[in-house]
Amino acid sequence: MPNVGKSQSTADRRQHFVELAQGIFPSEHITVEHDELRVLGTDWTRNFEVSPLAAVFPTSIDQVAELVQMANVHHFPLVPSGGRTGLSGGCVATSDEIVVSFDRMNRILHFDPVDRLVHCQAGVVTAQLQQFAAEHGLTYPVDFSSSGSSQIGGNIATNAGGIRVIRHGMTRDWVAGMKVVTGKGDVLEFNRGLVKNATGYDLRHLFIGSEGTLGFIVEAEMQLGTAPSPQRVMVLGVGKLADLLSILQRFKQTVNLSAFEFFSDLAMSKVLQHSTLRRPLRETTEYYALIEYDEDQSELATQAFSDCLDQGWVVDGVLSQSNSQTDDLWRLRDGITESIAGYVPYKNDVSVRISQVPEFLDDIDGLVKEHYPDLEVCWFGHIGDGNLHLNILKPPELDINEFQERCRAINPLLFKQIQRRGGSISAEHGVGLLKRDYLEFSRETSEIDAMREIKHVFDPNGIMNPGKLLLPQ
Ligand code: 2HG
Ligand code: ZN
């Protein structure tokens, strides 16, 4: 077989790939159709020009392994694609890559009720796993606003977090085993669902959060948990950012929290404009806290609320009285990303230790007011985990490139603040393309070098999601 040289035109390369891919996939599982590729080659960031060469839809591990082996021989870069709900450009195909979609590997293969383990393919959608767990009287508690379309493989590849990390942890905490196809085309199985396994390096954890740079996650053993007791939700109106932390502490001491989220009035007003929801409180305050806790602790929660009122930290509050009211209160928070999507926001997803949050918030608030006095800045996030989302909204009249340029100009200042506090420039969205150039603000040079060496072990020819997470060399 001839090697595909760089001099070949895109059309020739595409043609060559299709000919080779037809030896692995049925024709209907290969596409070069422009509109389809545009969708398959992007994620929710919408900031990048996409230009995949082709896309394939494997239905088996063997097909994935064969594809990787072929891609190594013929130098085709591969980009994994799950639910495409990522927010950092981690699965965006910008340079003639082959998109590998897991949409057709979406089956739950086995459930063991004793181990409470679900063996599933990578393309199983988060909500499908949650539903499966509920049907068996159990729970898969990792949850996000994108649960309806995000896939388990993508969740693992980015170690997705979400809204209940404060109680249930990140995706990492629920992966009991995994099968991967490495960038060399080897099929490896990690941990096999064991609770205890002290046999050296746990390679499973290297692949979790690796953003498709080491290989493809093709199957996983996901742990299920005990079904949750009924939950209640409160939304509190808060005047000052710093008071949010005092409220968090007060509630943490009193009740078993499953979420402690916050959003600014601006963020909520975008959701209200976008929906039929109504303001939850009579008073308008600059910030709101959404607190979820066990229903049987409602009396204790009400006591904590009164204490916060007495302290002057809280101005007003509402407690859900029914499931539909709980859903509506959650929609005020869950609906933010979608309702601001039209502003092509510049996203930041940062974290510091919880104890550092008040001072960090002050610093960042000052920075934002100084540098973006004319731009709308939406604050929200998982304040109970020290994770803040800062979305800068593009005014309709401002050119997109000029807008992004302005936002990027502030990044070093913002990231220096994070570095000074030992925080992270990406708490839960991953690095992808969006934060790749700033990795050094969260990782030592020697650590980044070690990451490169690890990548080389699993992906010696650099075909796996090139240019993501690590700068090309
Ligand atoms: C959330 O917390 C997601 O809703 C998305 O992480 C955050 O849109 C964002 O910036
Ligand atoms: Zn989030």
Q: Which ligand is nearest to the CA of 393?
A: 1
Cα-to-centroid distance, 159 and ligand 1 (Å): 14
Best residue for ligand 1 mutational test, from 334, 336, 385, 424 (most atoms within 8 Å of Cβ): 336
What span, in angstroms and rounded, lies between the C-alpha atoms of 67 and 205?
A: 24
In 3D, which of 421, 287, 423 has the Cα closest to residue 350? 423
What span, in angstroms and rounded, lies between the C-alpha atoms of 292 and 238?
A: 16
Cα-to-centroid distance, 268 and ligand 2 (Å): 15
In 3D, which of 293, 163, 300 has the Cα closest to residue 230? 293
Please list the residues that pair with 55 across neighbouring strands. 31, 99
Task: Please report which residue ranges of 294-353 form alpha helices under DSSP H.
Answer: 298-311, 323-334, 336-340
Number of H helices, E strands in the chain: 15, 18
What span, in angstroms and rounded, lies between the C-alpha atoms of 215 and 228?
A: 34
Best residue for ligand 1 mutational test, from 43, 45, 85, 87 (most atoms within 8 Å of Cβ): 87
- Residue 471 burial (CB count, 10 A): 11
Cα-to-centroid distance, 352 and ligand 2 (Å): 14
CB 231 within 8 A of CB 326: yes
Interval 129-178: pLDDT, tens? 999 999 999 999 999 989 999 999 999 999 999 999 999 999 999 999 99
Residue ranges lining ligand 1, Cβ < 6 Å:
87, 145, 337, 347, 349, 389, 391
Best residue for ligand 1 mutational test, from 88, 159, 262, 429 (most atoms within 8 Å of Cβ): 429
Please list the residues that pair with 391 across neighbouring strands. 347, 378
Index of the ligand 1 atom closest to the CA of residue 334 = 4
What span, in angstroms and rounded, lies between the C-alpha atoms of 288 and 47?
A: 29
Here the tokens at position 242 are: 């710093």
In 3D, which of 391, 396, 394, 414 has the Cα closest to residue 405? 394
What span, in angstroms and rounded, lies between the C-alpha atoms of 290 and 251?
A: 12
Is 64 exposed, middle or buried (CB count within 10 Å of its CB: 0-12, 13-18, 19+)?
A: buried
Best residue for ligand 1 mutational test, from 337, 385, 393, 435 (most atoms within 8 Å of Cβ): 337
Q: What is the pLDDT of residue 7?
A: 59
Q: What is the pLDDT of residue 5?
A: 45
Residue 446 identity (one-letter amino acid): S
List Cα–Cα distances, 324 to 138, 183, 320, 327, in angstroms.
Answer: 22, 47, 8, 5
Cα-to-centroid distance, 163 and ligand 2 (Å): 7
pLDDT tens for the chain, 473 residues long, are 344 444 589 999 999 999 999 999 999 999 999 999 999 999 998 889 999 999 999 999 999 999 999 999 999 999 999 999 999 999 999 999 999 999 999 999 999 999 999 999 999 999 999 999 999 999 999 999 899 999 999 999 999 999 999 999 999 999 999 999 999 999 999 999 999 999 999 999 999 999 999 999 999 999 999 998 999 999 999 999 889 999 999 999 999 999 999 999 999 999 999 999 999 999 999 999 999 999 999 999 999 999 999 999 999 999 999 999 999 999 999 999 999 999 999 999 999 999 999 899 889 989 988 998 999 999 999 999 999 999 999 999 999 999 999 999 999 999 999 999 999 999 999 999 999 999 999 999 999 999 999 999 999 999 999 999 999 98
Find the angle CA(334)-CA(149)-CA(35) to the nearest 5 degrees.
120
Cα-to-centroid distance, 100 and ligand 2 (Å): 26
Cα-to-centroid distance, 54 and ligand 2 (Å): 31
Cα-to-centroid distance, 385 and ligand 1 (Å): 14
Cα-to-centroid distance, 339 and ligand 1 (Å): 11
Q: Which ligand is nearest to the CA of 347?
A: 1
Which contacts of 14-18 are long-range, i.e. CB under 8 A and separated by 24 or more positions? 14/53, 14/54, 16/74, 17/53, 17/54, 17/74, 17/76, 17/98, 18/54
Interval 85-127: pLDDT, tens? 999 999 999 999 999 999 999 999 999 999 999 999 999 999 9
pTM of the model: 0.95
Please list the residues that pair with 317 across neighbouring strands. 236
List Cα–Cα distances, 203 to 100, 199, 364, 445, 460, in angstroms.
Answer: 22, 11, 37, 22, 17
In 3D, which of 337, 341, 317 has the Cα closest to residue 329? 317
Residue ID of nearest Cα to ligand 1 atom 5: 337
CB 219 within 8 A of CB 188: no
Residue ID of nearest Cα to ligand 1 atom 6: 162
Sign of CA dihedral 225, 330, 364, 45: positive
CB 151 within 8 A of CB 86: no
Cα-to-centroid distance, 338 and ligand 1 (Å): 9
Index of the ligand 1 atom closest to the CA of residue 429 = 6
CB 326 within 8 A of CB 233: yes
Please list the residues that pair with 30 across neighbouring strands. 56
CB 319 within 8 A of CB 297: no
